[in-house]
Amino acid sequence: MATFTTLDGTEIYYKDWGTGQPIVFSHGWPLSSDSWESQMLFFASHGYRAIAHDRRGHGRSSQPWEGNDMDTYADDLAQLIETLDLSEVILFGFSTGGGEVSRYIGRHGTGRLAKAGLISAVPPLMLKTESNPKGAPIDVFDGIRAGSIADRSQLYRDVASGPFYGFNREGAKVSQGLIDSFWLQGMLAGHKNTYDCIKAFSETDFRDDLKKFDIPTLVIHGDDDQIVPIQAAGPESAKLIEGSKLIVYPGAPHGLTDTHKDQVNADLLAFVKS
């Protein structure tokens, strides 16, 4: 297994497939780098170096008690990029990973980057506040925390079989395989880590980070996203990122990297080559 050790002693697992310009993928909650496998296989087969890590506390990485916050996630991502001495990186973040990418740029700049992409991503801010009236009320996230404490295994099954992939919509083609994969990835993650991450993805304000993007950026969001509702997400991020390109997928759910993977791969490839 390929790993590196962070400055606070956390061991981070990563995959490194193929050769060429590096594309680094940051995953969502409570998943791991496995959630990007369709995109990694696609890009490694098209002449790119596809890299993805398991965020601290997730997948095959260590499960530290502390550091389950966006600043530390971003610093871990920076250390991965620096450890592998990557340059001209294309950085893609899905859901919570989009927050990680945004905070990375906010804290570390774009010196090593060529382009960035936010897919079904949590920025600018998920939580409803006085300055963010389109966000979701804190009760929504308190409910996720309560579900995690009560029976997180069942929580993950319910999320995967319902809103994450849009399997609760009339006419949806349900994949038990995707449900099982989501559950397995979630259960490999640490209980404390995934619990803390709920606060990190829901309450972190990325608005100032997005204003620091100075590279070509693609924003993709489904307009039937029940996890990160579009009204407070993709289009709002695109407004804050100067010169960004927004693509909205009609009827697409949160987990569109799987449900719409052919379209996502084509759009990402076109963006990478542009």
Q: Give me the active site residues, please.
A: 95, 225, 254
Joined tokens for residue 109: 């700049």
* Continuous segment of H or E residues that includes residue 72: helix 70-83
Structure tokens given for 64: 């530290």
Closest-CA residue to 156 (of 177, 184, 176): 184
Burial of 250 (0-12, 13-18, 19+ CB in 10 A): exposed
CB 193 within 8 A of CB 163: no
**d(Cα 97, Cα 75) in Å, to the nearest integer?**
13
* Cβ–Cβ under 8 Å, residues 185 and 59: yes
Q: First vs last Cα of the chain: how many Å apart?
A: 34
198 neighbors 228 (Cβ within 8 angstroms):
no
Eight-state DSSP code of residue 92: E
